Structure 1
Amino acid sequence: MKVLKFGGTSVGTANSIKRVQEIIAHEAKEDRVIVVVSAMTQVTNKLLAASELAANGDESYKEITKEIENKHFDAIRELVAIDQQSGVIANIKVLLNQLEDILNGVFLVRELSPKTSDYVVSFGESLSSIILSKSIGAELVDSKSLIRTNTQHGGAAVLHETTYENIKDFFQSNDANVFVAPGFVASTEEGITSTLGRGGSDFSAALYAAGSDAAELQIWTDVSGMYTADPRKVKSAFPVKYASYKEAMELSHFGAKVIYPPTILPVYKKGIPLKIKNTFAPEDQGTLITASADEGMPIKGISSIDKIALASLSGSGMIGIPGISARLFGALSRAKVNVILITQASSEHSISFAISPEDINLAVEAVKEEFVFEIQTGKINSPRVETGLSVIALVGEKMSGQVNVSGKMFNTLGSNGVNMRAIAQGSSERNISAVIEEKDVKKALNVLHENHFEGSNKVLNLFVVGVGNVGGTLVDQIKQQQKVLQKNSNIVVRVTGLANSKKMLLNSEGIDLNGWQDQVESSSVIFHKDELIEQIAELNLRNSVFVDCTANYEIASVYKKALENNINVVTANKIACSSDYELYQELKAICLKNNVKFLYETNVGAGLPVIGTINDLVHSGDRIQKIEATVSGSLNFIFNTYDGNNTFHDVVSQAKSEGYTEPDPRIDLSGVDVKRKILILIREAGIKMEFDDIEVKDILPKACFEVDSVEDFFNLLKNDEPTFQEMVGNAQSEGRKLRVIAKYEDGKATVELQAVDSTHPFYNLQGTDNTVALYTDRYVSQPMVIQGAGAGAGVTAAGVFADIVRIANY
């Protein structure tokens, strides 16, 4: 014997019922089959709505009953042979007439008791079971005559021994091959209709399986098994092939709605395999639940319960006093308050418990009544309740003894700004639960799934500010590499925000990077730096990264706010790291506190690994004694290109047109940019220094920087050409080359234009190359030298991109 249960979506329409017929026919070839069915889609909800309207004296309940009638008559015409339709319609009409009579009575007396409500909602499964049984020629089973319950209407408790005996006797005495039984419905020992609660059709099927000692219970639904997480919230979730009864019970308790929690216990006790299959994709493997199913996965699923309240009882009068917990939960039990989660501090000073928000008043009054004396005398505080919370849970048999599962969970949540209000883990280590704010649930589920399941994609949500030369190149590089990163590294780089100096574009699902420029220009949203950070925080996306491709002071000023909101920051902008040392340290401290990343490798040397190398040296115990660097690609280009055979004016103009300098080249030629870069390197070496501590010796005559406009500056370069000719001629006459060198040694730092000879490491620099020479305790006579292209949109964007990918790999 096999038991097959089909849910509301499986019997929701005539077309879906045809699929059910095919599945039943296939299974019936191998064994006898009991088919348990739910009501057709939305019928139970319509029955509840009609009864509520009738109880309120609203005659529109009749419109709903007419809808229910039409739905079932349409299914009969589609599914039942023409010569049998009139008989089936007559049977359905008898039931519908009974329903109308009951609802009319409710309407007249304006009262809906739990007993009457049970009777009304039982019609849904009764109607669907008649249609299915007649359409496939199966024997109809009256579940009310077999499944017995107590008199607790609305969610009655099953009388298992009586129920199993009735089921066993019925099927032993009946030799039919296929049976159809309505789920959800039962009756008391007096024969009064009762129900098993919402989701009770699963439970009915489990009772039939246990009572008949079935070989297998199959739950047919609209998903291909029990997923690693709710696929509506976690797109990368996938079906679990195998799970144990205990894992399934934990997951179903914590919101895995694919199976009703009480369903598992009857088959667990009998050792009956339970399979979850997809009616609409029957070829999919589904999930097989047995006593000791194992895929080698320490975690089988991540689940959640939304809309919970967290109540806490605390006070010094609880410490060391026996019986406090017994009294607390005894009082809650007597008030019929269901407790979802319990956690207690080892100090015994407080106990917290999660409940449904609907039970808050009941729970608070019950606790106050139980501890009235202690509260009045100040030994125990009045219970405190927090709302707007959810429970998330990691579930898996193999978590027991697995090192760092909880640590990884807490670290992952913390780095994404998810605050845990309470934590609970049973001694079996099968479940780790945490209470978090409801607004954080989707983000929490996704980051936990990314970090605990092999093959899961890690999604980065980027908000790119500054989409000009470097930023625009970065977006194009991302577009080119998105598929490669996902395929080879399971990293999904999703651009969810783009902004230029005037407008911004946001899309939490990701911006289509085809024609992204036009989308930004056509956006009606005005860009404001503070509002952008607020909107990123409100979107609350996992692994959010603020990417700054500007050189703007104002943009750099929002880094602190971003990091405080657990938004990672990647920047090519040197302003923040070269401003006040106090701010530099504060940003670093926020990163440590909130476990977020602030990466700025491209601040010095574009895509060259300069900052990372210094960090590695310092972290490994080395000390930087001296730094020499040519770290301006624009200045290197200018002094490599200018040889006296051309004009200084033309070389600077060329550097500007090719994007090597700022729009105002005076910024580069003043040495300020180099000054910022050497300052950053000095600070990364662990040395405290301020911007004003660095001496910049004039690279050009002072008069060049005293004119008002860029045009005037270029005119002055023409006039000063003899000065530049003399400068380069003197160097060439001594076999030297001009280099703007930043230097740190013995606590002092300078930036100056020097003429270096052929023995100097910087003599052979080409084009825009940057070179950094690091003299350390380990690299004494021969420095560690890092050299390569240090300017240009392509290499700078690539360096920013590399920092973004690093965040995914942390």
Structure 2
Amino acid sequence: MKVLKFGGTSVANPENINRVKVIVQNVGSKKVAVVVSAFGGITDLLLNTASLAANQNLKYKESLAEIENRHISTIKELIPVQKQSGILSKVKSDLNVLETLLEGAFLIGEITPKLSDKIVSYGELLSSFIISEFFKAEGLDATFKDSRELIVTDENYGKAAVDFKKTNQQCNAFFEADKHQTFILPGFVASSSAGNSTTLGRGGSDYTAAIIAAAENADILEIWTDVSGMYTANPKLVKQAKCVANISYEEAMELSHFGAKVLYPPTIQPILNKEIPIVVKNTFHPEDPGTYIAKNNHGNGKTVRGISHVGNISLLSLEGPGMIGIPGISKRFFETLSFEDISVVLITQASSEHSICVGISDDDVEKAVAVVNESFNYEVASGKIKPVIVEKELAIIALVGDNMKSHQGLSGKMFSTLGKNNVNIRAIAQGASERNISAVIKKEDVKKALNSLHEAFFEENIKQLNLYVMGVGNVGSKFLGQIQQQNAYLKEELKLNIRVIGISNSRTMVFDENGINLNNWQTALANGEKADKSQFYEKVKSLNFRNSVFVDNTASEEVSQSYPDYLKNSISVVTCNKIACSSNYDYYKDLKQLAKKYNAPFLFETNVGAGLPIIDTLKHLIASGDKVKKIQAVLSGSLNFVFNNFDDSTTFHDVVKQAQKEGYTEPDPTIDLSGIDVMRKILILARESGNQLDIEQIENEAFLPKESLETNSNEAFFESLVKYETDFQKIYKEASEADSKLKYVAQFGDGKAKVGLQKIPKGHDFYNLEGSDNIVLFFTERYPNQPLIIKGAGAGAEVTASGIFADIIRIGNF
């Protein structure tokens, strides 16, 4: 015999029931027991109707009418008209009994567990009868059998315990005597020895199927649902989750206990000893192989087989000095909870015996607190034990796998992965079997935790980075274009999957949890909501994605002041905005410390030299033990472009205008030409070399007239350049006559820094610096005479964007 169970979604409507019929027809010549759930949503509707009736709310009649309509309309769509009469009569008779039961609840104003079981059982009783009649009408050799006549339980209404001896006897007798090929049975329902209707708990249809499979020594138990098996994680929360092809009974039990809803946890118990395999299949994609569950089915030695979670958990902690070395405390604690039928899903106790911590359902918290405090009233009153401590809004995540036992490093990998993503662990539990490692975390962190762990254990080392980009002007737009261009390469070669989740400019912002399509991000942004920097941050924080990176492509001081907020939430920051790192030293130092504390990289390679690896090289020098003695540099690509193109055949105004047009200067060119930009850069290099310095301490030998520096608009600034053209030509002539070139140079040494325009003679490393190139000379203990030189393009949107991109890749390899 084969036993097939179909869940509520599989029989939710006539179309799906037809799918079920096709699957059953294809079973073959063997006997088949088909266990069905109530039509999708009917069980909840019955419970709600009963609640309305018990509260003497006449709306229960509307709810009952909806239940009736669902079943009557299904019959009329599935069954030929000439065969409907008897079926409709039977169903309406059952609905009349249901109405009577609800009227009783309405009249007395309450509902007992016994009455609740009677009412809710009608979901499966009606669905199974209608489906059996449909099968008969379609020519199948089918019959209906009420599971209440086969499965015997105690009278623990709502979650009755099965009497397997009597149940097996009744199953054996029935299936041996009845010669039909197909048997349709209601799941979830049973009856006590006294004949009262009972239920096996939510999800009990799986259990019904397992009970029958065990009683009849079935060849296989097939669980048909709306997913193609058991997944490595909940596919609704983890898009990259994969179906697990093979899994052991024990692994399946662990995963189902920890929230893998495709299988009701008690299902495996009846068939475990008989080693009857289970296959979890998809009604809507029956061709998919599904998940095969059997003994010693460990998946080719893989360690972690799945990651699951249980939500709506609270931690209950009992602690105090009066617990240490006192026998019986744990016994009293757990007995108190047990007497109130409060299930404990996680236990942890410190070796000092100072505290015991348990995880329970949120629904049981108030009752648990009251009974535990009452039980330990004497100890609490005498100060030996504190009143019970409660933490709510939590969840349990668990790694599951038979082969995890004695496999070194799994716990460390799990906890470090969570730590890197700012997921705080409130409690930890691991059984001696080492088949499960559980951790209690905040409920709001579940999605991030599951995705982080899944990435670490299942995704072939492909790391996903989630970017939030502020500023999409010249640099920002080039950056997004580079990501789009290189996406496939990054996945294939560097195992990085980069998604842009949010984009903002000064006017609008847009978010897409699945990643913004970079083919048309401009359109999406144009149609986005009004830009708001604080709301942008709140959205990033609320999405709570793993491996999040805030990318600042602006020159805004306000944006730079938001970096601590991001870092404190373990959101990395990548920026070409120099303001933060060149502001007061304490703020710079604070940002660096926050990055370390919250394990969130703070990278700003483009602050000096655009795409040149200047800061990265400096970091490696320092990390290897070298010490910087002196720095000489041309750090302004815009100023180098200007003075490389300015001569007696041009005007200073026109050259600066050209530099602005080609994107070499900041939107406000005075930032470049005043020297403030170069001051910021040498300041950052000095600080990264290990020196404490502020920008006010840097000497600036300005070459611009005071009037030009004090203009308040670009228009006025360029007008001033025309006015002072003679002065600029004089500077050029003096350099030319000295056979030198003009370069704006930054220097640092002996704790002092200065910037200014210099005449560079032939033979100097700076003399032949072309275009917008930058050059940095590091004189160190290891490079005392011949400096370490870094040279290349130091300005322009493309190279700056590539520098930001390089920082993103560094984070990916972090």
Residue 200 of structure 1, CA deviation: 0.2
1:583 matched residue in structure 2: 587
Alignment of 1:101-250 (within 5 A): 101-134=100-133, 135=135, 136-250=140-254
2:98 matched residue in structure 1: 99
Structure 1 residues 495-504 or 652-661, which shifts more? 495-504
Percent identity over paired residues: 52
The answer to whether the aligner puts 1:597 opposite 2:601 as a matched pair is yes
Are residues 730 and 14 of structure 1, via their aligned partners in 2, closer, same or farther at CA, if it must alter by over 3 Å? same
The CA distance in 1 between the partners of 2:727 and 2:660, in whole Å, is: 21
Q: Tell me the secondary structure at the aligned position of residue 795 of structure 2.
A: coil
Summarize deviations over 1:165-216 as a string: whole Å, max 9, x none.
Answer: 3323333344433222211111111222111011100001111111111121
The CA distance in 1 between the partners of 2:379 and 2:54, in whole Å, is: 44
Match of 2:376 among 371, 374, 397: 371
Residue 487 of structure 1, CA deviation: 6.0
Residue 798 of structure 1, CA deviation: 2.0
Preserved CA contact (<8 Å) 1:28 1:178: no
The answer to whether the aligner puts 1:414 opposite 2:413 as a matched pair is no
Alignment of 1:791-802 (within 5 A): 791-802=795-806
The CA distance in 1 between the partners of 2:526 and 2:122, in whole Å, is: 58
Query: 1:36 is aligned with what amino acid?
Result: V
Residue 643 of structure 1, CA deviation: 3.4
2:4 matched residue in structure 1: 4
Query: 2:661 is aligned with what amino acid?
Result: S
Query: 1:435 is aligned with what amino acid?
Result: V
The CA distance in 2 between the partners of 1:710 and 1:19, in whole Å, is: 71
The CA distance in 1 between the partners of 2:751 and 2:529, in whole Å, is: 51
Query: 2:166 is aligned with what amino acid?
Result: T
Preserved CA contact (<8 Å) 2:141 2:181: no
The CA distance in 1 between the partners of 2:158 and 2:334, in whole Å, is: 24
The CA distance in 2 between the partners of 1:36 and 1:713, in whole Å, is: 83
The CA distance in 2 between the partners of 1:260 and 1:625, in whole Å, is: 69
The CA distance in 2 between the partners of 1:526 and 1:256, in whole Å, is: 40
Q: Tell me the secondary structure at the aligned position of residue 11 of structure 2.
A: coil
Residue 424 of structure 1, CA deviation: 1.7
The CA distance in 1 between the partners of 2:46 and 2:506, in whole Å, is: 57
The CA distance in 1 between the partners of 2:526 and 2:78, in whole Å, is: 55
The CA distance in 1 between the partners of 2:297 and 2:635, in whole Å, is: 60
The CA distance in 2 between the partners of 1:335 and 1:708, in whole Å, is: 75
Match of 2:402 among 372, 397, 412: 397
Query: 1:45 is aligned with what amino acid?
Result: D
Are residues 556 and 344 of structure 1, via their aligned partners in 2, closer, same or farther at CA, if it must alter by over 3 Å? same
Residue 226 of structure 1, CA deviation: 0.8
Are residues 208 and 802 of structure 1, via their aligned partners in 2, closer, same or farther at CA, if it must alter by over 3 Å? same
Q: Tell me the secondary structure at the aligned position of residue 312 of structure 2.
A: strand
The CA distance in 2 between the partners of 1:607 and 1:158, in whole Å, is: 70
The answer to whether the aligner puts 1:624 opposite 2:628 as a matched pair is yes
Q: Tell me the secondary structure at the aligned position of residue 155 of structure 2.
A: coil
The CA distance in 1 between the partners of 2:294 and 2:81, in whole Å, is: 43
The answer to whether the aligner puts 1:322 opposite 2:327 as a matched pair is yes
Preserved CA contact (<8 Å) 2:141 2:180: no
Preserved CA contact (<8 Å) 1:28 1:177: no
Summarize deviations over 1:648-691 as a string: whole Å, max 9, x none.
Answer: 23222211222211233232122221111111112222232222
Structure 1 residues 459-468 or 422-431, which shifts more? 459-468
Residue 723 of structure 1, CA deviation: 4.0
The answer to whether the aligner puts 1:540 opposite 2:544 as a matched pair is yes
Q: What TM-score, normalized by structure 1, do the two folds share?
A: 0.94
1:463 matched residue in structure 2: 468
Summarize deviations over 1:714-754 as a string: whole Å, max 9, x none.
Answer: 34434544444443344344443222222223333222323
Preserved CA contact (<8 Å) 1:571 1:800: yes
1:557 matched residue in structure 2: 561
Q: Tell me the secondary structure at the aligned position of residue 363 of structure 1.
A: helix
Q: Tell me the secondary structure at the aligned position of residue 420 of structure 1.
A: coil
Residue 586 of structure 1, CA deviation: 0.9
Residue 646 of structure 1, CA deviation: 2.2
Q: Tell me the secondary structure at the aligned position of residue 34 of structure 1.
A: strand
Residue 14 of structure 1, CA deviation: 1.3
Residue 710 of structure 1, CA deviation: 4.2
Residue 81 of structure 1, CA deviation: 4.9
The CA distance in 1 between the partners of 2:402 and 2:762, in whole Å, is: 68
Preserved CA contact (<8 Å) 1:449 1:456: no
Query: 1:355 is aligned with what amino acid?
Result: I
Alignment of 1:267-666 (within 5 A): 267-295=271-299, 296-455=301-460, 458-482=463-487, 485=490, 491-513=496-518, 515-517=520-522, 519-521=524-526, 523=528, 525-527=530-532, 529-666=533-670
Preserved CA contact (<8 Å) 1:236 1:457: no
Match of 1:686 among 690, 695, 713: 690
Residue 82 of structure 1, CA deviation: 5.1
Residue 4 of structure 1, CA deviation: 0.8
Q: Tell me the secondary structure at the aligned position of residue 411 of structure 1.
A: helix
5+ residue gaps in structure 2? none
Q: What TM-score, normalized by structure 2, do the two folds share?
A: 0.94
Summarize deviations over 1:617-665 as a string: whole Å, max 9, x none.
Answer: 2222222233222111101111211233323232222112222112332
Query: 2:52 is aligned with what amino acid?
Result: L
Please give the root-mean-square deviation of Cα atoms over the aligned residues, in Å: 2.4
Structure 1 residues 618-627 or 16-25, which shifts more? 618-627
5+ residue gaps in structure 1? none
Residue 91 of structure 1, CA deviation: 3.4
1:56 matched residue in structure 2: 55
Q: Tell me the secondary structure at the aligned position of residue 270 of structure 1.
A: coil
Summarize deviations over 1:279-318 as a string: whole Å, max 9, x none.
Answer: 0000111111122223343222222222122111110111
Structure 1 residues 171-180 or 320-329, which shifts more? 171-180
Are residues 713 and 199 of structure 1, via their aligned partners in 2, closer, same or farther at CA, if it must alter by over 3 Å? closer
Query: 1:801 is aligned with what amino acid?
Result: F
Preserved CA contact (<8 Å) 2:611 2:804: yes
1:16 matched residue in structure 2: 16
Structure 1 residues 786-795 or 139-148, which shifts more? 139-148
The CA distance in 2 between the partners of 1:283 and 1:65, in whole Å, is: 38
Preserved CA contact (<8 Å) 1:675 1:694: yes
The answer to whether the aligner puts 1:778 opposite 2:777 as a matched pair is no
Query: 1:105 is aligned with what amino acid?
Result: G
The CA distance in 2 between the partners of 1:308 and 1:471, in whole Å, is: 43
Query: 1:191 is aligned with what amino acid?
Result: G
Are residues 780 and 176 of structure 1, via their aligned partners in 2, closer, same or farther at CA, if it must alter by over 3 Å? farther
Summarize deviations over 1:21-68 as a string: whole Å, max 9, x none.
Answer: 111111234x32211111111222222233233333344434434433
Are residues 82 and 262 of structure 1, via their aligned partners in 2, closer, same or farther at CA, if it must alter by over 3 Å? same
Query: 2:53 is aligned with what amino acid?
Result: A
Aligned length: 808
Structure 1 residues 430-439 or 467-476, which shifts more? 467-476
Query: 1:205 is aligned with what amino acid?
Result: A
Preserved CA contact (<8 Å) 1:144 1:185: yes
Structure 1 residues 769-778 or 252-261, which shifts more? 769-778
Alignment of 1:750-765 (within 5 A): 750-765=754-769
The answer to whether the aligner puts 1:741 opposite 2:774 as a matched pair is no
Query: 1:350 is aligned with what amino acid?
Result: S
The CA distance in 2 between the partners of 1:28 and 1:650, in whole Å, is: 87
Residue 506 of structure 1, CA deviation: 4.1
The CA distance in 2 between the partners of 1:65 and 1:524, in whole Å, is: 44
The answer to whether the aligner puts 1:668 opposite 2:672 as a matched pair is yes
The CA distance in 1 between the partners of 2:447 and 2:24, in whole Å, is: 37
Are residues 755 and 213 of structure 1, via their aligned partners in 2, closer, same or farther at CA, if it must alter by over 3 Å? same
